[in-house]
Amino acid sequence: MRDLKYLAALTIPASAVLSLYLKGVWSYFTPFYAFVLIPVLEIIFPEDAHNLESDEKTSKSNNRLFDWMLYLNIPVVYGLIGIYLISITTTDLVLFETIGLMLSLGIVLGANGINVGHELGHRQKSHERFLGKMLLLPSFYMHFYIEHNFGHHMHAATREDPATARLNQSVYSFWFTSVFRQYISAWKIQLQLLKKQGLSFFSLKNDMFWYLFLEAGYLWGLFAIFGVEVIPFAIGAGIVGFLLLETVNYIEHYGLLRKKLPSGRYERVREVHSWNSNHIIGRIVLYELTRHSDHHYKSSKKYQLLDCHEHSPQMPFGYPTSMVMSFIPPLWFKTMNPRIPQSMKEA
């Protein structure tokens, strides 16, 4: 039964259902739940730095339950999109309610969409990577698969990485630089992959073209089914979704830089180049994303197997709480800057 704890991640879409059902001021319940209630619970509940024993890892590695808890997010996310858009077109909503519902759906697209898509995107099986891309689609962030897997994991904690926040860079500045630089980087990586295979820009294996086609097709499908009035809502929710991801990117490597070796290459990515958090609530609702140090140490390791490394830099709070703190740059800088190892500041 303890393995079912990750079903708690579905409390985020459950809160979005409540927002939709009650409307009014309750339209904002999901943002309240994600950025107020969960942080409070993180502070109340203790940290858990326990790592699995080898026999436990073998058992959990082969347990398909952990995979199915990820797959469950696909009907949840797309089902929620459907009922939200039906409500938008059949209910008289004031602007205040529409904005609240857009934020609520966007949080689901980020937490249960992109976050789970990220996990599945690292899997070895092609059908799991396909499901991961499906979860990136509603946030118009399918290029994340290419940039993250072939770019970020190579360049993390360097100035060449769009998804590594610089020291004293605010999250709002980071949103702008990371979103645009990652998209450009994804195209560059795609062109390099095509060149290695001796393929042209217009090859059917140009995934970036397919992502554009699928994202445009997604919007066209919504227009055909629900009408033009849902398009701004769907785009707005998608933007909220990928900004949620970028906020996570911001806190994961903030201020941490790898040393450049005399050869001109960077030292290899180690556990010290990502911020780790053992706060139990954030770990559960984000499918262990907060053990990010171990994820970069071995990106193919499944979420239920991730370890805590004692020498990894530790966040004072969980990821959800840290995300809220990042929205107040002076507070974020005052809290996090002293925790950055001096050697990494000078890298």
Handedness of CA 183, 297, 47, 328 (dihedral sign): negative
Residue 188, in any domain of the structure: yes
- Residue 287 falls inside a structural domain: no
- Whether residue 191 has pLDDT greater than 80: yes
Residue 132 lies in a domain: yes
Question: How many residues comprise the chain?
Answer: 347
Query: What is the percentage of the chain residues whose pLDDT exceeds 90?
Result: 87
The pLDDT value given to residue 347? 46
Taken in order 233, 235, 236, 241, the sign of the CA dihedral is positive
Q: Which two tokens stand for residue 252?
A: 């994961």
Residues 6+ apart with CB under 8 A from 197: 205
* 227 located within any domain: yes
pTM of the predicted model as reported, rounded to 2 decimal places: 0.96
> What domain count does the chain have?
1
How far is 74 from 64, CA to CA, in rounded Å? 16
Residue 236: inside a domain: yes
Helix (H, G, I), strand (E, B) or coil at 47: strand
Tokens 């993390």, residue located = 156
Containing domain of residue 160, as a range? 2-246+260-270
Radius of gyration of the chain measured on its C-alpha atoms:
20
pLDDT tens by residue, 98-118 = 999 999 999 999 999 999 999
**CB half-sphere exposure, 143, CA atoms < 13 A:** 22
For the segment 274-286, the average pLDDT, to the nearest whole number, is 94
Q: Please state which of the ranges 13-22, 46-55, 206-215, 243-252 shows the lowest mean pLDDT.
A: 46-55
Report yes or no on 304 lying in a domain: no
Q: Is 332 within a domain? A: no
Long-range contact pairs involving 92-95 (C-beta distance under 8 Å, separation at least 24): 93/23
Which residues are CB-contacts of 155 (< 8 A; sequence separation ≥ 6)? 161, 164
Query: For the segment 214-272, what is each residue's pLDDT rounded down to a tens digit?
Result: 999 999 999 999 999 999 999 999 999 999 999 999 999 999 999 988 888 899 998 89
Residue 317 lies in a domain: no
Label residue 345 by pLDDT band (50, 70, 90).
low
Integer CA distances (angstroms), 299 to 124, 153, 157, 291, in order: 11, 8, 15, 11
